[in-house]
Amino acid sequence: MAQPIYRKAVEDTVPKVNNEIAVGEDVEFQRKWWKFEKLVWAAFICFVLLDLAGVFGRGPLSKAHLATADGTVNVSYERVQRTGTPSTLKVEFRDRAIRNKQIRLWAGEDLVSKLGNKQIAPQPATSAVGDGGLHYTFPATTEPAEIVFSLQPPSPGLYDLSLGVDDFPAFHFKILVMP
Amino acid sequence: MASVLRAVFGYAFLVFMVRVVGRRPGKQMTPFEFVLIFFIGGLTLTFVVGDEASFTNAIGQIMTIAILHYLIAWARTKSSAFARLTDGTPLVLLEKGQWRPLAMKGMRIADDDVMASARDKELKSFDEIEYAILERNGEISIIKASEML
């Protein structure tokens, strides 16, 4: 047997304007929403300004620089990076850092595993795993010599990175990778 | 897992952005609003899809968005407060020969937007309009003065 069709009486549930047209206007809610919207627009502007400044990476405030006391080894990098976005870490060597036309550099394992090191220019003459990282040897015929690590972090997070050059105190620094 | 979460965030973010940016899509959409909708949609796709351009990922994300859409539509029918949050409330823009300037300014609607809708109803001037109401879908409903007699 067919089911009876369920019916319900129509009720005047939508509030009327001037008691003549059912609109369902809620002016009080709308006033609150406009106030909320103003806050949201202010937040958007703040976000964009911070973004332009580089607080979230790819801007002037994200650039960082480290150097030994005598300026022999300089490291330039972006302290805030973005997931899947290429960036570079440059290490510049002068004077005593170059020995027998060679540079010996040790990098912590986060350089490859967390920061997605894709390429090194110039190519190292040797590379070996050890001491919780990688030991590299680079040929250096001119001074200053610069080594560029191309990074592309695969996932967000705060990563510790260490770089060491023979006879110099190691650099320890943090890199924040934004989602 | 991550791609489903990205789809959830992307959908929620787009719903929120479109809600905040304003209620003028649909019939009232002008060329610069087309740019807005497509541009925001395209940019959202970049992080939602990421580098996972697989069939499985696409199907998973589409189904995620379908479920979210269903849930939001269902929640709207259950709670008028939730419906107001997602869609807003209808607003009277013009009432018996009087503008409501706060509503016009707040919704970033000009008088010629109202007149465009009035012409759609074959009205020739504002004095033929009894009510102009900005609906939740962004359209402007026009009630003719003659209809109220």
Chain B residues with CB under 8 Å of A19 CB are: none
Helices (H), chain A: 27-53, 110-113
Q: Tell whether A85 is covered by a domain.
A: yes
pLDDT at B133 over 80: yes
Indicate if A140 and A78 belong to the same structural domain.
yes
Interchain proximity A25–B90, CB inside 8 Å = yes
Q: Which CATH number characterizes residue A71's domain?
A: 2.60.40.680
CA of B29, closest CA in chain A: separation in Å?
21
CA distance A171 to A74: 10
- From its phi and psi, is residue A178 left (phi > 0), alpha (psi between -120 and 50) or beta? beta
Percent of chain B at pLDDT > 90 equals: 57
User: What is the dihedral sign for C-alpha B59, B61, B63, B69?
Assistant: negative
Interchain proximity B92–A17, CB inside 8 Å = yes
Interchain proximity B90–A34, CB inside 8 Å = no
Residue whose C-alpha is closest to residue B142's, from A12, A50, A23:
A23
CA distance A84 to A151: 9
Q: Tell whether A10 is covered by a domain.
A: no
Interchain proximity B91–A33, CB inside 8 Å = no
Cα B117 to the center of its chain, rounded Å: 16
Average pLDDT of chain B, as a whole number: 88
Q: Which residue has the higher pLDDT, A58 or B50?
A: A58
Identify the residue among B16, B20, B104 best suited for mutation to test binding to A, counting A beta carbons within 10 A and taking the highest: B20
The pLDDT of residue B148: 67
Span B79-103, pLDDT tens digits:
999 999 998 999 999 999 999 999 9
Span B21-32, pLDDT tens digits:
876 644 556 777
Interface check for A24 against chain B (CB to CB < 8 A): the answer is yes
Chain B residues with CB under 8 Å of A29 CB are: 84, 89
Interface check for A28 against chain B (CB to CB < 8 A): the answer is no
CA of A37, closest CA in chain B: separation in Å?
6
Chain B residues with CB under 8 Å of A24 CB are: 89-90
Residue whose C-alpha is closest to residue A30's, from B93, B12, B36:
B93
Q: Let me know: does A159 contact A174? Beta carbons within 8 Å.
A: yes
pLDDT at B115 over 50: yes
Cβ atoms within 10 Å of A87's Cβ, excluding its own: 21
Q: Tell whether A15 is covered by a domain.
A: no
How many A/B residue pairs have CB atoms within 8 Å? Answer: 37
Q: Let me know: does A55 contact A64? Beta carbons within 8 Å.
A: no
**Number of separate domains in chain A:** 2
The pLDDT of residue A18: 85
* Mean local confidence (pLDDT), B144-149: 76
Q: What is the pLDDT along chain A (179 residues), one digit of tens a residue?
A: 678 888 988 888 888 888 888 998 999 999 999 999 999 999 999 999 999 999 999 999 999 999 999 889 999 999 999 998 999 999 999 888 888 889 999 999 988 889 999 899 999 999 999 888 999 999 988 888 999 999 999 999 999 999 999 888 899 999 999 98
Chain A residues with CB under 8 Å of B20 CB are: 37, 40-41
The pLDDT of residue B22: 74
Q: Tell whether A82 is covered by a domain.
A: yes
Q: Tell whether A77 is covered by a domain.
A: yes
Q: Tell whether A5 is covered by a domain.
A: no
Chain A residues with CB under 8 Å of B109 CB are: none
The pLDDT of residue B68: 95
The pLDDT of residue B25: 42
Is A24 exposed, middle or buried, given 0-12, 13-18 or 19+ CB atoms closer than 10 A? middle
pLDDT at B107 over 70: yes
The pLDDT of residue A2: 78
Q: Tell whether A126 is covered by a domain.
A: yes
Q: For residue A99, what are the domain limits?
A: 63-178
- Write down the architecture of domain B91-148 according to CATH: 2-Layer Sandwich (3.30)
CA distance A139 to A48: 43
Interchain proximity A24–B96, CB inside 8 Å = no
Interchain proximity B89–A40, CB inside 8 Å = no
Chain B residues with CB under 8 Å of A27 CB are: 89, 91
The pLDDT of residue A3: 82
Interface check for A34 against chain B (CB to CB < 8 A): the answer is yes
Interface check for A37 against chain B (CB to CB < 8 A): the answer is yes
CA of A13, closest CA in chain B: separation in Å?
11
Helices (H), B79-141: 80-87, 101-106, 111-120
Indicate if A151 and A71 belong to the same structural domain.
yes
Indicate if A87 and A167 belong to the same structural domain.
yes
Q: Which two tokens stand for residue A118?
A: 């894709």
Span A130-175, pLDDT tens digits:
888 999 999 988 888 999 999 999 999 999 999 999 888 899 999 9
User: Which chain A residue is nearest to residue B50, measuring alpha carbons?
Assistant: A84
